[in-house]
Amino acid sequence: MAARAMLTHADIWNAVDRLAARAGLSASALARKAGLDPTTFNKSKRVTPQGRPRWPSTESVAKSLQATGVTIDAFVSLITERGGAATAIPLIGLSDASGGNYFADGGLPNGKGWDAIAFPAVNDEHVYALEVSGDAMLPAYRDGTAIVVSPAAAIRRGDRVVVKLRDGEVMAKELKRRTAKSIELRSLNPPHAERTLAADDVLWIARIMWASQ
């Protein structure tokens, strides 16, 4: 039987760095965003003066995930990720996504009119980005934020998602509840009302994995 790979000090810290990069932040900016001391994730803090490895605390990682809207499953994928070279992924404006023939069946990017954005390599070859315009999605996403969507990712209650309806409307919401007959969505902007959709009215639903803040 092959030996199971050990989780290393470098693996964890590389994942923290990737988490920061995918949020468009430095390590210190990620710490500030998470409500931590700005030096928490500094390179100098990763080894003690005696030369022993210092690991990030569970609390600091949990706060960073909450601050960036990233799940623990996604963080684990950053731990196991190798390399890190950036690639170009398709990009259009979220407000433009409701018009035109931008998506194929299943919510995959399709057709012309897409721009591109550089992004670290990911496991989903169909990943794409939607750029937010205006303040309608505050405080979750501000104007200019690129939300990165993975059509292949599993979706669970509480995930932020992009939904396309049969009438062409495309929206970004939080999945509140999903049954065989309906999909309940919570707005990312608290004053906006929740929506309950008939499952038959939904063409596809895909998970938001990252956001450049």
Determine if the pTM surpasses 0.75.
no
Does residue 4 belong to any structural domain of this protein?
no
Residues 206 and 126 in one domain: yes
pLDDT at 2: 40
Q: What angle do CA 203, 206, 209 make, to 5 degrees?
A: 165
**Residues 65, 35: Cα–Cα separation, whole Å:** 12
Residues 100 and 205 in one domain: yes
The boundaries of the domain holding residue 61 are 9-80
Which uninterrupted H or E stretch holds 16?
helix 9-22
Residues 114 and 37 in one domain: no
pLDDT at 27: 81
pLDDT at 82: 59
**Residues 106, 184: Cα–Cα separation, whole Å:** 20
Does residue 3 belong to any structural domain of this protein?
no
Query: Which regions of the chain are under pLDDT 50?
Result: 1-4
Residues 113 and 49 in one domain: no
Does residue 46 belong to any structural domain of this protein?
yes
Residues 109 and 193 in one domain: yes
CATH number, domain with residue 129: 2.10.109.10
pLDDT at 23: 77
Residues 158 and 181 in one domain: yes
Q: At a CB cut-off of 8 Å and minimum separation 6, what does 104 contact?
A: 110, 111
CB of 203 closer than 8 Å to CB of 164: yes
Q: At a CB cut-off of 8 Å and minimum separation 6, what does 167 contact?
A: 201
> Of 80, 98, 119, which residue sits at a domain end?
80
> Of 63, 80, 97, which residue sits at a domain end?
80
CATH number, domain with residue 13: 1.10.260.40
What total of structural domains would you count in the chain?
Answer: 2
> Of 64, 80, 96, which residue sits at a domain end?
80
DSSP state at residue 49: T
Pull the structure tokens for residue 118: 């550089």
Q: At a CB cut-off of 8 Å and minimum separation 6, what does 84 contact?
A: 14, 18, 120, 121
